[in-house]
Structure 1
Amino acid sequence: MAEFKDQTLTGAVTLDGNVFINVDFNDALLNYDGGVPPGFDNCRFNNATFNLGGAAGNTINLLRMMAPAATNMRPVVLGLIPELQG
């Protein structure tokens, strides 16, 4: 685990297991593969995009499959992530 503090990061950035404090992500591709969740404190995201690969990608694909109303599983997804409910 690495700590990044008071920096500006651009390009590809690995998130798994890292901590970011007072970091500006400018034109960055933030990669998360499902390992130890990263930590963020007072960070700014300017034209940054997230890429979920590995286990994280599989999980998001499962949630996307469950989310449509026709599956009758949307309440399950919202129960897993209550923050999504207004």
Structure 2
Amino acid sequence: MAEFKDQTLTGAVTLDDNIFINVDFNDAILNYDGGVPPGFDNCRFNKATFNLGGAAGNTINFLRTMSPTATNMRSVVLGLIPELQG
């Protein structure tokens, strides 16, 4: 696990298995492929975007497929991450 501390990162940044402390992500593309989740502490995201690939992308696509009302699975999908419900 690599640690990035007190830095400004731009461009493509791999999130899997990394820790970010006091990092500014400026115009960064944050790539997560479903490996060990990253850690963030006191980070700032300025014009940063997320790119979910690999297993993470497959999981997002699965949840999108299951979330329409017609599937009758929407409540199950929403129940997986209850803290997102407002």
Scaled to the shorter chain, the TM-score interval is over 0.9
Identity %, equivalent residues: 90
Residues paired across the two proteins, number: 86
RMSD across aligned positions (CA): 0.5
Deviations 1:18-61 (A, max 9, x none): 00000000000000000000000010000000000000000000
- TM-score of the pair, normalised by structure 1: 0.98
Moved over 4 A (4+): none
Partner of 1:65: 65
**Hey, what does 1:18 align to over in structure 2?**
18
- Structure 2 length-normalised TM: 0.98
Any stretches of 5+ residues in structure 1 without a counterpart? Answer: none
SS for the counterpart of 1:55 is: helix
